[in-house]
Amino acid sequence: MFYTEDRLNNWIERIKDEELDLESGKGLEVFDKMLDDYIIACLNLLKSIREREVTKKDALKFIEESKPLLDRSYDVGDDVKAELLEMTKENMKVVAKGLELTIAGKVSRKSFEKLLEDAIKKEKSGDLEGAFEDMAKMAAKALAGERLPEDLEIPDEDLFVIGWLDAIDAISTVHHLIEIDRTEVEDDLE
């Protein structure tokens, strides 16, 4: 199994127990860690495919089976927590769709900049589904190992796309940290 109900429920329990303070940002990291954990599961699934432990067909089936977990509502006992959880689940959906594209070998050749520009245009014209697809294409590029440009121009607007960009940034960061860990392990072995 790729991402289990138990794994998600552990995060729901941690969110319930977490004390939030929006002023100081205290407690917010649980949502980032939840997203990072999901990204790690995605990267591990890609690794399992590369190492021929899982077929692409089975991997896509695992992702499909886990989707209802992200569509379900969870009671975390607090409206602010509930809203932050919804945002985190939306980001997880972007990552999941990106994972499907990566597995299917449909990684876009468009630049991150162009995909972001397209997604913003689509959202502004009311095509939220199209905007989501473009963000998933960005996620696929990041999951495939492409680094998100540090000088990416992000408009200061209240758009879903800007929220979803957090998911792509998180993939890039997790990938980078894994590379650092791998390099350190290899250095230790020499």
Torsion of CA 141, 146, 149, 150, to 10 degrees: 120
Interval 23-64: pLDDT, tens:
888 889 999 999 999 999 999 999 999 999 999 999 999 999
**Count of H helices and E strands in the chain?**
7, 0
At residue 67's C-alpha, the angle toward residues 79 and 178, to 5°, is 90
| Domain range annotation of the chain | 5-189
Distance CA 101, CA 179 (A): 22
Name the phi and psi angles at 26, rounded to 5. Answer: -65, 130
Q: pLDDT for 92-128, tens place per residue?
A: 999 999 999 999 999 999 999 999 999 999 999 999 9
Q: What is the pTM of this model?
A: 0.90
DSSP 175: H
